[in-house]
Structure 1
Amino acid sequence: AAWETVLKLAPQLACQMRDYAGLAETDALIPQTETGKAYALSYKTLLAPEAGNFADQVKEVLAVNHAVYSERISVLVGNYLRTL
């Protein structure tokens, strides 16, 4: 949800993070795909202090866009629960 929010609302930051982590560009993150898995695995690394200032920037994007982020979480959790 956080990645999707950053991709949608802070594309320049998303581009910097993608370049830093060596990720492929994508418009849609589907958790089951290889791209989705790569993004999920890199997120922890990108938020580490040695990755630069990404954690602070991501937190700011999510705080400013809390409603969008919350909605994305609700959709993702709802989709997951329907698969159970």
Structure 2
Amino acid sequence: MPSNTSVFYLSHPIEFPVIGEHLAPKTDPNFNPVLKDGEILTRNIVISLDPYMRGRMRSPGTESYMPPFDIDKPLVALGVAEVIESKNP
């Protein structure tokens, strides 16, 4: 059975983000995907951590071209993945 670990955004850092204080990995122990028609299940191979992500680690009141990350939500990033199951023809 596949696992599902995400990096969650916990709080706004003043300087550099610190694992456990601003960011934390969380694994879903109940992850048991059942695919519906048109869905795929992927395994991440590599995730890109880009400089723009630091700019999204800010309070919502700060204006920017990108919205801030939401507290207690997984970080959003681009990456490369392998399809391990598909119900999408």
Query: Which TM-score applies when normalising by structure 2?
Result: 0.22
Which has more helix, going by share of residues? 1
Query: Which TM-score applies when normalising by structure 1?
Result: 0.22
Which has more strand, going by share of residues? 2
Which has the higher Rg, Structure 1 or Structure 2?
A: 2
